[in-house]
Amino acid sequence: MNDYRIEIPDGAPKQLTRAWLSLGIAALIGAGLLAILLVLSRTPGVQDVFPLRDFFKSALVVHVDLSVLIWFMAFASAMWSLVGGERLAALGRVGFGLAAIGTAIIALSPFFPDANPLLNNYIPVLQQPIFFGGLLVAGVGFSLTILRALLTIKFGSPVGADHTPSTHSFAIYLSAIAGAVSLSSVFFTLLKAPDLDGKAYWEAVFWGGGHALQFQHTLLMVVAWFGLAKELGSPPKIQSRATMILFALAASPLLAVPIIFAVADVGSAWHVAYFARLMEFGHPLMLPLIIVAAATLWPIRKISAPAKSALFASVFLFATGGVLAYLIKGVNVVIPAHYHGSIVGVTLAFMGMAYVLLPRLGFALADGKMARWQPYVYGGGQLIHILGLAWSGGYGVQRKVAGAEQVLTTLPQKIGMGMMGIGGLISIIGGIMFVVVCLVAMRRRQIKT
pLDDT of residue 42: 59
Question: d(Cα 66, Cα 38) in Å, to the nearest integer?
Answer: 14
Domain residues of the chain, as ranges? 1-289, 297-449
pLDDT of residue 163: 36
Question: d(Cα 136, Cα 348) in Å, to the nearest integer?
Answer: 28
pLDDT of residue 182: 96
Indicate yes or no: pTM above 0.85: yes
CA distances from 313 to 5, 76, 331, 431 (A): 21, 20, 28, 14
Question: d(Cα 289, Cα 356) in Å, to the nearest integer?
Answer: 21
Kindly give the parts of the chain with pLDDT less than 70. 1-6, 38-55, 155-165, 325-339, 391-417, 445-449
Question: d(Cα 144, Cα 9) in Å, to the nearest integer?
Answer: 21
CA distances from 94 to 17, 83, 134, 178 (A): 14, 18, 15, 21
Do residues 286 and 293 lie in contact, with contact meaning Cβ atoms separated by under 8 Å? no
Question: d(Cα 315, Cα 335) in Å, to the nearest integer?
Answer: 20
Of 19, 86, 90, nearest in space to 447 by CA? 19
| Pure H helices in 53-166 | 53-64, 71-82, 89-108, 129-152
Do residues 284 and 277 lie in contact, with contact meaning Cβ atoms separated by under 8 Å? no
pLDDT of residue 395: 44
Using one digit for the tens of pLDDT, what is the confidence trace for 367-403? 889 999 999 999 999 888 888 777 665 545 544 444 4
Question: d(Cα 178, Cα 162) in Å, to the nearest integer?
Answer: 29
Topology (CATH) of 1-289: Cytochrome C Oxidase; Chain A (1.20.210)
CATH no. of 297-449 = 1.20.120
DSSP states of 310-358: HHHHHHHHHHHHHHHHTT--SSSTHHHHHHHHHHHHHHHHHHHHHHHHH
What one-letter code names the amino acid at 374?
A: Q
